[in-house]
Amino acid sequence: MHGPGTDQGLQGFLEHLGRVDPPSAGEARGRARMFASARRVLARPLRRRLSLLAVSLMICSQASLALADAADSGRTYVPPPSPVATCHRQAAPCGPVQLRAALNRAAARAKLPAGAVLNAATQGMRELLGFGDPHNPLRWDPNTGLWGGYTSYGTSDAHPDWWQSAVATWALVRYLEATGSTDPAYQDVLDRTFELNVSLPGSRAPLNFANEYMDDTGWWALAWTEAARYELNVRGDGRLAARYLAVAEFDADYIARAPRSCGGIVWQLGYPADTISNAEFAAVSAELYSIRHARGPFHNGGKAAHWLGHARWALSWLRSHHLVNLRAGTVRNGLTRRCRPSAGPLTYTEGEVADALIQMGAALHNNWYFTQARTFLDYTISPTSGMSHDLVLQEYCESRRKMCHSLRQFDVSSFKGIFVQAVADYDLATGTHLYRPWLQAQAGAILSHAVSDGKRPTRCATPHRCQLGFYWSRNVSPASAPVPVSLASHTSALQALVAALAG
């Protein structure tokens, strides 16, 4: 078994990509002149394809594919040029100028009144926590500290929803960070969720939220890492921050030590490795490196190196097993028992791979990771992916006859918000507003198409009238929707609203 602390996977990755020095100032000026020449040639229709090929060869040179290096940390981030991507329909020509214009038009179509997103995020969060509607089936249960278990599988299941509760906790913390709130009522939910579930002897998750599902454990690790940052940076509570950080590190180490398949992290013990579990592990390891590397109360050089090694290994493993395509921005869902890639991308696998790269870029102040993350983000929001309808995010199955109605519909309802969070993280990490129009367009689509009281379309005037459904890109009656309003759909849309606030 080759563990995350070894350099074997990383070495193979480096040999494939080539670690080279950054271009000199003279080389950079020469490259700029070549790009300028290429742009002039693009104006000549008969030579357009040859010019695009030349530009692609220059962009894909070894110098542009250098991996992260801590020595690069002093550089100021400069956003890379936008890739060519389709805007509204397949085969439509759309370069960076057209793409930006399409995003701006999508944001303008949303026509969001001042304060509309903040109001909807606040009312939606109050509904999620049961503050304004104590009998709704989406609410947090103060007796278990979890969500779910109230009604039929259409809304949740017979028991509290474990991994969706992790995502809901994560969404709560991100809302508090985006709004700067230190409201004790929200803090009580966070504390009680932790206290009631951190130690459950005899259960499937007996200690620190870890269970036989590595992807579930990864969501909890991400949620408590975010909570540690919130407690330290917003509330200034070092004691709680240390407590949450300890659990996040426990969970990440638990995942690292678990038995593997094909050398990678499995989604469930005894099953093959998959993309989402390894991407989660890469992301949380990069975040833990950032916390342990930064000056402050949690600085620890040894632990920082430990987590950086894990993050690099996970990204290397994904690449070496052909689960991610860095040039195309596409992912595969996981491996078969014979270690072969299977199935295609979903919104959350694309988003979590992108977020792992974003967290590495933020941790190491390295532009290469941001450039690669954009490839995955831009692929997903283009209609060629099948995951975008008029620049509004959707799952593949939404455009099919059953519109995602299936036994896995509750899981699928959780996916889109995870991708949108990654988009917001890109803007936050790079200090740009590149995707702000797209984020506003998602918020506008949700407010136009997905708000109801569970039975009929409404506006977010109260928590009860701000239940958020699965379908963002089209009007679907909530009373007859193939995938009904649920904890999963509500949390996912709420993540998107919060992302529009933060990004």
Q: What is the pLDDT of residues 447-456, one digit of tens each?
A: 999 999 999 9
Q: Which residues contact 494 (CB under 8 A, 6 or more apart)?
A: 121, 124, 125, 128, 171, 175, 417, 468
Is 80 exceeded by the pLDDT of residue 193? yes
In this structure, are residues 306 and 355 in contact, taking their beta carbons and an 8 Å threshold?
A: no
pTM of the model: 0.80
E strands, 8-150, are 140-141, 146-147
Higher-confidence position of 363 and 33: 363
How many Å apart are CA 140 and CA 461, to the nearest integer? 20
Indicate if the pLDDT at residue 474 is higher than 60: yes
The mean pLDDT of 332-344, rounded to a whole number, is 97
Give me the sign of the Cα torsion angle 302, 308, 311, 314: negative
pLDDT of residue 21: 40
First to last CA, the chain: 40
Nearest Cα neighbor of 492 from 368, 404, 360 is 404
The set of residues, in sequence order, having a beta carbon less than 8 Å from that of 122 and lying 6+ positions away, is: 179
Q: Which of 146, 145, 128 is nearest to 137 (CA)?
A: 128
The confidence score (pLDDT) of residue 394 equals: 97
CA distance 35 to 382: 24
> Region 108-129: what's the mean pLDDT?
86
Cα 378 to Cα 376: distance, rounded to the nearest angstrom: 6
pLDDT at 408: 83
Greater model confidence, 122 or 12: 122
- The pLDDT tens digits of the residues spanning 388-407 come to 999 999 999 998 999 999 86
Give residue 110's pLDDT: 55
Q: What is the pLDDT of residue 225?
A: 98
Helix (H) or strand (E) holding 341: strand 341-342
How does DSSP assign 391-413, residue by residue? TEE--GGGGSTTTT-STTHHHHT
Q: Using one digit for the tens of pLDDT, what is the confidence trace for 37-52?
A: 544 544 444 444 434 3
Listed by start position, the domains of the chain span: 146-153+162-255
CB atoms within 10 A of CB 44: 10
Residues in the chain: 503
Query: What's the mean pLDDT when you consider all of the chain?
Result: 83
The DSSP element (H or E) to which 325 belongs, if any, is strand 324-325
Say if CB 137 and CB 473 are below 8 A apart. no
Chain segment 299-328, per-residue pLDDT in tens? 999 999 999 999 999 999 999 999 999 999
d(CA 458, CA 349): 31
